[in-house]
A and B are shown apart, each in its own frame.
Chain A
């Protein structure tokens, strides 16, 4: 079944109705939100120089940056925190986390502490030799069940320009080829950061990822408050139009490939919640680029995610990384999480006035709203 603009219109119209209904039901009372996701930066060190990133310059700007990184024992202590017992997803990030000499040991600690969690490593994947060594070491430690996330901000030179490194795209491709041959069970996803410079490249990168069977996501660049990146980004109407047109192509493709209208009309809707999540994410992403939103009353920040910087600062959301609630080198995680500073920050997040729309935050929000509108086994 081919997808047309009319298909997309009808599907998105229904999704909007479900989103509104789900949000309404959550306001009236939903399940309490438990801490279930942990994001940990291992280091600010990185061997790329992405134009929108504050990490890679920090070891130069702050000479003690590396010495202030959490030690291996800090991770052992963190992993024992009772508050983290319900964690179902762990994302290891940076900088480039695999540059850290103790990366394998730290990941092994986290895997042992959270044996049933979805474990992801966000790596730039640009050095296949180094990547092979690290993954081989993990395998020897018995850590095989994890996924890899990376960035893909264009094809060829486009990617290199954003990553600040000639050859970055070639390196990424070589890593992908290596992974397919030598670590075929490891799922890989890539994320496209939408910048004014590459806004009209989203569709070609999406197709590249689709054709290589990579997971794919996209989000608009964030000008992080309190952190200095090489560039800050502003948008012209023409660039926003370009981004919107590219997002429309992705939405149409998702509708076509997965027969969205047929699923909507002829099958129980809750069977396709995974597709509705994606479509709702992308349609709101399109609106987010136009400075619209916030889209939901409750983003669950301060409850669902614990994010920890390389130095041990705890924060609730990547959009508000500067709003630190405590440090796990100075105090146990539980004390930080339950402390007065954290409570104050939580109160500030409700009602939600933040306009963030990042994959890691938005998808769980969307999933929760859709689950409220379409509980399993219900007709809607």
Chain B
């Protein structure tokens, strides 16, 4: 099974998570704890890429193109967001 550190691993929203786009933001609710996370525009972009089946690597590439961000920076940001999503129980491996 592909692990957290595998840049090609694919993810999906956990069954413990519900989410909705509200304008340029996304709200993700962790159902068991009722804790919610408000994602700004770029974090929302990465989230939708990941739950749509993109790997962290691919999400970073798309982020870089869409927001004109340096690839290394995009990769770091996507990686950091993925870690946060996983730690919060919002994403699971496909």
Does A266 lie within 8 Å of B25, measured CB to CB?
A: no
Does B29 lie within 8 Å of A261, measured CB to CB?
A: yes
Does A266 lie within 8 Å of B18, measured CB to CB?
A: yes
B20 contacts which chain A residues (CB < 8 A)? 14, 264-265
B29 contacts which chain A residues (CB < 8 A)? 261-262, 265-266
A14 with B34: in contact, given A261-B29, A265-B27, A265-B29 (CB under 8 Å)? no
A10 with B31: in contact, given A261-B36, A265-B36 (CB under 8 Å)? no
- B14 part of interface (Cβ distance < 8 Å): no
Residues 249-265 of A at the B interface (beta carbon under 8 Å): 261-262, 264-265
Q: Main secondary structure on chain A at its contact with chain B?
A: helix
A7 contacts which chain B residues (CB < 8 A)? 36
- A17 part of interface (Cβ distance < 8 Å): yes
Separation in Å of the B46 CB from the closest CB of chain A? 18
Separation in Å of the B3 CB from the closest CB of chain A? 29
Does B18 lie within 8 Å of A17, measured CB to CB?
A: no
B23 contacts which chain A residues (CB < 8 A)? 13-14, 17
- A1 part of interface (Cβ distance < 8 Å): yes
Residues 1-35 of A at the B interface (beta carbon under 8 Å): 1, 6-7, 10, 13-14, 17
Q: Which residue of B lies closest to A267 (CB)?
A: B18
- Complex CA–CA separation, A17 to B25 (angstroms): 13
From A10, A13, A14, A265, give the contact of B18 (CB < 8 A). A265
B22 contacts which chain A residues (CB < 8 A)? 10, 13-14, 17, 264
A10 contacts which chain B residues (CB < 8 A)? 22, 25, 27, 38
A17 contacts which chain B residues (CB < 8 A)? 22-23
Does B38 lie within 8 Å of A6, measured CB to CB?
A: yes
- Complex CA–CA separation, A10 to B27 (angstroms): 8
Which range holds the interface residue count of chain B?
10 to 19
B18 contacts which chain A residues (CB < 8 A)? 265-266
Residues 35-77 of B at the A interface (beta carbon under 8 Å): 36, 38
Per-residue CB proximity of B7-20 to A under 8 Å, as 1/0? 00000000000111
Q: Which residue of A lies closest to B31 (CB)?
A: A266
Separation in Å of the A249 CB from the closest CB of chain B? 21
- Complex CA–CA separation, A131 to B34 (angstroms): 47
Separation in Å of the B38 CB from the closest CB of chain A? 7
Q: Which residue of A lies closest to B33 (CB)?
A: A1
- Complex CA–CA separation, A152 to B23 (angstroms): 38
Max chain B C-beta neighbours (<10 A), residue from A13, A14, A265: A265
- Complex CA–CA separation, A14 to B20 (angstroms): 10
Q: Which residue of A lies closest to B29 (CB)?
A: A265
- Complex CA–CA separation, A7 to B18 (angstroms): 15
- Complex CA–CA separation, A264 to B22 (angstroms): 10
Q: Which residue of B lies closest to A2 (CB)?
A: B34
- Complex CA–CA separation, A262 to B31 (angstroms): 8
- Complex CA–CA separation, A14 to B23 (angstroms): 7
Q: Which residue of A lies closest to B20 (CB)?
A: A265
A14 contacts which chain B residues (CB < 8 A)? 20, 22-23
Does B34 lie within 8 Å of A1, measured CB to CB?
A: yes
- Complex CA–CA separation, A1 to B28 (angstroms): 14
Separation in Å of the B15 CB from the closest CB of chain A? 11
**Which residues of A are at the interface with B, using a C-beta cutoff of 8 A?**
1, 6-7, 10, 13-14, 17, 261-262, 264-266
Q: For the A-B complex with A10-B22, A17-B22, A266-B29 known, give 5 more contacts whose Cβ atoms are closer than 8 Å.
A: A6-B38, A10-B27, A261-B27, A261-B29, A265-B27
Which 9 pairs, one residue from A and one from B, show the smallest C-beta to C-beta distance? A266-B18, A1-B34, A265-B29, A265-B20, A14-B22, A265-B18, A13-B22, A265-B27, A10-B22
- What are some 23 contacts across the A-B interface (CB < 8 A)? A1-B34, A6-B38, A10-B22, A10-B38, A13-B22, A13-B25, A17-B22, A261-B27, A261-B29, A261-B36, A262-B29, A262-B34, A264-B20, A264-B22, A264-B27, A265-B18, A265-B19, A265-B20, A265-B27, A265-B28, A265-B29, A266-B18, A266-B31
